[in-house]
Structure 1
Amino acid sequence: MIASLGSSGALIATAFAVLAAGGSATDVGLVAAARTIPLVLFLLVGGAVADRLPRHHVMVAANALSCISQGLFALLVLTGEPRLWQMAVLAALGGTGQAFFAPASEGMLLASVSGEQAGRAFAVFRMGMSGANIGGAALGGALVAAVGPGWVLAVDSAAFALAGALRAFLDVRGIPERAAGGGILHDLRDGWREVISRPWLWAVVVQFSIVNAVVSAAEAVYGPLVAEDHLGGPGPWGLALAAFGAGTAIGALLMTRIKPRRLLLAGTLCVFPLALPSAALAIPLPAPGLTALMFGTGIAIEVFSVTWMMALHQEIPEEKFSRVSSYDWLGSVSMIPLATALAGPVQDLIGRTAALWSCSALIALLTAAVLCVPDIRHLTRRNPAPLSPSPSPIITESDKITGTNNTP
């Protein structure tokens, strides 16, 4: 959560660092894509590693890499005029750290809870993450406006260092030990079978591969540009992002009390409001209205996030959490580099307003399409039982050449 506090502000700082260096909308998109490309390339490997090594050790190593990359980025911005390729390389190093951290952290979380308290545990975890995002976005926007993006990047580096130091002392004795697998390729293929055999799982992964891409284009590229032209700069935009984070915190709080019976139906219906921020930027809605709308959207999308984690926890065997998570993460980020890199050229071609309305329409249409999958509508929350490793599957000859997995 400490690292998330810094990272939320650093996302704003990175965009405005590129703009301050004379970059265009295309340059902002390219740097955002540079962070995501290694995330896509290394996620499956990160998931495999996290299912083989102690997950908290993987998280510490990933935090160390992110600390170094953000520290160098801050130094570059504070001491000179950073070049586009330098910012892209350092963003890529940060993305590599995230590729190993994300599946390890999610696998560790899913393995740490069981029984009746699982849903509440996920909601409390999400609440903490949301609180970090609120503070990070608000503080990041304010600091960028007050002292410039370099200091925000420096704070992010320090946050990763502190988070890694704290994680090194985690007590993991309550987490079940995992038997050694048959190799990385074996685990990866095993994870792929887990995903492809569940229509509800691959349908949502495909949905969010596009939804996350267009949301990232809107928030990482178009949002700062609209803020610069119409909202008054990074401060109001940071406040709007903080309001979204506040909404997710409220949504997580609600989910500590609400237990929907049809997990994915309730969650998917709450994805529709995610189309609203892009529409608000297209208008553009004044800063107070945008902030209020982002708050409501945060509440809705957090319902989806918690129900999604509950579905994964209920349906996926513990020893496969990380490998399935890596495929989930891969789907979630795979299209982001393309979307952020093309955001500038698309704006030049059809205009920023049309591009933002297109983002909004895609989110709504894809969410409606996912509701056509029967398992999405009918997957039901079961009475919880204590978590225990599932029986080993029958091993076939083809299984002997597969590898490990991890989910976002």
Structure 2
Amino acid sequence: MTYSYAVLSQLKDLRSHRGFSGLAISRFISNVGNGISPIALAYGVLSLPGATGKDLSIVMAARFIPLLTFMLFGGVIADRFQRNRLVGGSDMIGSFLAATSALSLIAGFSSTWLLALMGGIFGILNAIWWPAMSGVLPEILPKEKLQQGNAIIGLMTNIGYIIGTLLGGLLVVSVGSGWGLLVDAMSFFIAGAIVWNLPIIGKIKEASPGILHDLIIGWKEFISRSWVIAMVLSFALINMAFESMLSVLGPLNFSDPLNGPKQWSYNLAGLSAGMLLGGIWILKVKIARPLYLAMVLIAVSALWDFSLAFALPLPVTVLAAIFSGISLEVFMVTWNTSLQSHIPEESYSRVSSYDALGSYGIAPLGILAAGPLAIHFGVDKILFITGAMTFIAALASLLVPSVRNLRND
């Protein structure tokens, strides 16, 4: 009872900051769609005539290439203009792209390359959305409330994602992938409209000598902290493994058209449920060395990959997914809070862009290779490799003293 009262008290306090409730609601709505999307898109691709794991790799990787290509410019834009308008506008435009993919599947004129094209354009929008979104919360909350704010946003995100993943499996099996993507499109538009209208008055930005100057300043902030560099290098490998598993290897592992979508949706729901539990826990706890704990948990989260590789029973893989979700959410909250606590607000989006570029820079290579490698060597063997990569890369980051010892006091 005491814990619940404390959480409710924190919620009441955060709601007193204008714009926080709207941001939290928008993340819930958007992530209902985000939960549906990977299931609907993956099985939509696999339902195309003659489609294989190679086609799935192409479609899933298409978003990342333009995302990473334009990410640094997105960070500069986000530091110059009103961030919530950039986020809301990107979401609303993106809803029409998702609707196009949905209608192509419903009407029967879809193809691998059409879905890849829509994903590629969406990636350009994401290059603006990502760094802008990372800077919205610090414009609403003071620094001392960022951990609680990040945790609450994470809770709303994960509740929406759990609902979306469960709904995604049901929609794909009952009415088809196209209708699932159409629901995703609607959620994007609604969430975008809410964020666009948040009562945030962006801070007045100082005149800049130009884009190159802004990028150089952001780069200097980025490389001046050894813990940032170490984490980005580690997550270059971790994200390559994780995105390959999430986008390609997972759906291929549950490829039965009758039960596969539901079984994979249960795993994704387990991941989201774990993230929800991790968010509840991190909301209350003050961790002395947050990145140290987070990276130990990330290393152990490789159990999910191994459980799938060894074809363990569904309840076991779901439990492993739950633990992976707890680990991921603890990391995300502590990482965002660490960046927001130590990086100057005026250059935060640019540093976030360098972070995303480095952390996801080689992820498309993993996604593109995962399908063909799984066909040649077997899904189980590639899943074992992704688990080993995650375990080794996470522990390697702890060799850096500034990662082990960072504090957010």
Deviations 1:165-197 (A, max 9, x none): 112211013x54332323211111111111111
| Counterparts of residues 360-399 of structure 1 (less than 5 Å) | 360-382=387-409
Q: Amino acid of the residue matched to residue 143 of structure 1?
A: L
Q: Which moved more, 1:175-184 or 1:84-93?
A: 175-184
Show CA shifts across 1:20-63 (max 9, x none): 00310111011001111111111111111111111111112211
Q: Please say if residues 111 and 321 of structure 1, whose CA atoms lie closer than 8 Å, have aligned partners that are also in contact.
A: no
Give the Cα–Cα distance (whole angstroms) in 2 for the partners of residues 257 and 264 of structure 1: 17
Instruction: Choose from 182, 185, 197 the match for 2:212.
Output: 185
| Secondary structure in structure 1 of the residue aligned to 2:350 | helix
Structure 1 residue runs without a partner (length 5+): 383-408
Of the three residues 257, 260, 269, the one matched with 2:296 is 269
Match of 1:327 among 354, 361, 368: 354
Aligned pair partner of 1:133 in 145, 153, 161: 161
Instruction: Note the C-alpha offset of 1:230.
Output: 11
Letter in 1 for 2:254: A
8 Å contact from structure 2 (residues 131, 353) kept in 1: yes
Tell me the residue number matched to 1:397: none
- What SS does structure 1 have at the residue aligned with 2:113? helix
Rounded Cα–Cα distance in structure 1 between residues aligned with 2:320 and 2:345: 37
Name the aligned partner's letter for residue 43 of structure 2. F
**Partner AA of 1:223 in structure 2:** G
How many residues matched?
A: 381
Aligned to 2:237: 210
Per-residue deviation, 1:259 = 0.7
Q: Which letter maps to 2:340?
A: H
> What is the 5 A alignment of 1:148-297?
148-173=176-201, 176-229=203-256, 232-297=259-324
Measure, in 1, the Cα distance between the counterparts of 2:328 and 2:194: 29
Please say if 1:356 is aligned against 2:386: no
Segments of 4+ in structure 1 off by > 3 A?
A: none
One of 97, 106, 114 as aligned partner of 2:134: 106
Match of residue 346, structure 1, among 347, 355, 373 = 373
2:15 aligned partner: none
How many Å apart are 1:108 and its aligned residue?
1.3
Identity across the alignment (%)? 35
SS class of match (1:51): helix
Distance in 1, matches of 2:257 and 2:385, equals 20
Cα distance in 2 for partners of 1:308, 1:82 equals 39
Q: Give the counterpart of 1:314 among 336, 341, 348.
A: 341
Letter in 2 for 1:355: I
Structure 1 partner of 2:86: 58
Shift in Å, 1:359: 0.6
Q: Secondary structure at the match of 1:228?
A: coil
Provide the residue aligned with 2:32 in structure 1.
5
Matched, 1:44 2:72: yes
Q: 2:240 corresponds to which letter in structure 1?
A: A
Which of 1 and 2 has higher RCO (CA within 8 Å, sep 6+)? 1
User: How far has the Cα of 1:380 moved from its partner?
Assistant: 1.8
| Alignment partner of 1:80 is 2:108 | yes
Output the CA distance in 2 between the equivalents of 1:58 and 1:42. Answer: 15
Aligned-residue Cα RMSD (Å) equals: 1.5
